[in-house]
Amino acid sequence: MTIQVGDKIPDVDISVATADGPQPTTTGEFFGGKKVALFAVPGAFTPTCSARHLPSYVEKAGDLKSKGVDTIACISVNDPFVMAAWGERDASKDITMIADGNGAFAEAVGLDMDGAKFGMGKRSQRYSMLVNDGVVEQLNVEAPGEYRASSAEHLLEQL
């Protein structure tokens, strides 16, 4: 079942990609006590993710933070080393890169997908959510092949 507005984020293991290497944590620790703009992508370095999705959050980071967002995070079913490399190349220090290497978070929130026909295996759907102290306040799930609802611009309109 897909997570809904008003639901608490399930507590699963994730890894934050940092310059010092992967930092294991849980979603309970990561989302607790702060307002997080989270966006999920099917894969690091993939065309729409690199050309549009991540750049929209890099560009609008200051605007999101001025509206009360404490942390902006990108999550993908990739390992923490790939997420760190993508963050170093395309992100900014305003974006926290999160690895959901085994897809546990994507599955727990009911937003996983089968990308096997593209040679990608189990992945996350494209979406954004606003999470306040572990509770979902906004959820924007894209239709397959679409990119609009999960953009930073759309999430800003909701704040």
Q: In the prediction, which pLDDT does 1 show?
A: 73
Q: How far apart are the C-alpha atoms of 158 and 34, rounded to whole Å?
A: 17
Q: How would residue 119 be classed by pLDDT, with cut points 50, 70 and 90?
A: low
Q: In the prediction, which pLDDT does 92 show?
A: 83
Provide mean pLDDT across the span 101-116: 89
User: 83: phi > 0 → left, psi -120 to 50 → alpha, else beta; which?
Assistant: alpha
How far is C-alpha 49 from the chain's CA centre? 11
User: What are the residue boundaries of the structural domains of the chain, listed by start?
Assistant: 13-158
pLDDT of 43 > 90? The answer is no
Superfamily of domain 13-158: Glutaredoxin (3.40.30.10)
Average pLDDT over the chain reads 91
Residue 133 Cα distances to 1, 3, 143, 155, angstroms: 21, 15, 27, 17
Catalytic residue numbers read: 49
pLDDT of 30 > 80? The answer is yes
Residue 114 Cα distances to 42, 46, 81, 96, 130, angstroms: 10, 16, 22, 25, 24
Q: In the prediction, which pLDDT does 38 show?
A: 98
